[in-house]
Amino acid sequence: MSDFDRAAFDAALRTRRLGRSLLVRDQAGSTNDLAWEALAQGLPDGATVVAEAQSQGRGREGRRWHMAPGKGLALSVLLHQGCDRRSFGVISLVAGLALARALEPLGLRADLKWPNDLLVRGRKLSGILAESRRLPGARNPDSTIEAAVIGVGVNVGERPEDFPEAIRERSTSLAIEGCDTTREAVAAGFLNALEPLWYELQEGSREAVLEAWRARAGFWGQPVVVRTAGGELSGIARDLNPEGALVLRLESGIEIPVFAGDLELPSLEAS
Report yes or no on 1 lying in a domain. no
Could you tell me if 173 and 260 lie in one domain?
no
Report yes or no on 24 lying in a domain. yes
Whether residue 160 has a cis bond before it, omega within 30° of 0: no
Pick the last residue of a domain from 173, 190, 216.
216
Instruction: Give the β-pairing of 48-54 and 22-28.
Output: parallel
Could you tell me if 242 and 138 lie in one domain?
no
Q: Which percentage of the chain shows pLDDT scores above 70?
A: 87
The burial class, CB within 10 Å (0-12 / 13-18 / 19+), for 231 is exposed
Report yes or no on 113 lying in a domain. yes
Q: What angle do CA 152, 236, 233 make, to 5 degrees?
A: 75
Q: Is the dihedral of CA 200, 202, 208, 212 positive or negative?
A: positive
Q: Which residue has the higher pLDDT, 192 or 54?
A: 192
| pLDDT reported for residue 86 | 65
CATH number for position 177 = 3.30.930.10
* Rounded mean pLDDT, 10-32: 94
Query: First and final CA of the chain: distance in angstroms?
Result: 41
CATH number for position 227 = 2.30.30.100
3-state helix, strand, coil in the chain (%, to 5): 30, 30, 40
Task: Kindly compute the dihedral angle of the four CA atoms of residues 256, 262, 268, 271, in this order, to the nearest 10 degrees.
Answer: -140
Could you tell me if 188 and 143 lie in one domain?
yes
Report yes or no on 26 lying in a domain. yes
Q: Are 83 and 145 in contact (CB under 8 A)?
A: yes
Pick the last residue of a domain from 174, 200, 216.
216
* Whether pLDDT at 224 is above 80: yes
Could you tell me if 62 and 174 lie in one domain?
yes
Pick the last residue of a domain from 216, 238, 255.
216
pLDDT band at 206 (very low <50, low <70, confident <90, very high): confident
Report yes or no on 14 lying in a domain. yes
Could you tell me if 159 and 243 lie in one domain?
no
* Whether pLDDT at 137 is above 90: no
Q: Are 151 and 32 in contact (CB under 8 A)?
A: yes
pLDDT tens figures, 246-258: 999 999 999 999 9
Report yes or no on 68 lying in a domain. yes
Report yes or no on 196 lying in a domain. yes
Average pLDDT, the chain: 87
* Whether pLDDT at 143 is above 60: no
Report yes or no on 124 lying in a domain. yes
**To which H or E segment does residue 239 belong?**
strand 231-240
* Rounded mean pLDDT, 187-210: 91
* Rounded mean pLDDT, 121-145: 74
Could you tell me if 204 and 235 lie in one domain?
no
* Whether pLDDT at 240 is above 50: yes
What count of other Cβ atoms lies within 10 Å of the Cβ of residue 35? 26
| pLDDT reported for residue 270 | 43
| pLDDT reported for residue 8 | 97
Could you tell me if 255 and 212 lie in one domain?
no
Could you tell me if 132 and 209 lie in one domain?
yes
Could you tell me if 73 and 193 lie in one domain?
yes
Could you tell me if 246 and 184 lie in one domain?
no
Could you tell me if 238 and 154 lie in one domain?
no
Look up the domain containing 184 and give its range.
6-216
pLDDT band at 142 (very low <50, low <70, confident <90, very high): low
The C-alpha atoms of residue 264 and residue 266 are separated, in whole angstroms, by: 6
| pLDDT reported for residue 256 | 94
The C-alpha atoms of residue 126 and residue 246 are separated, in whole angstroms, by: 20
Coil, helix or strand for 181?
coil
pLDDT tens figures, 155-168: 999 999 999 988 98
Could you tell me if 127 and 193 lie in one domain?
yes
Q: Is the dihedral of CA 207, 115, 53, 125 positive or negative?
A: negative
Domain tally for the chain? 2
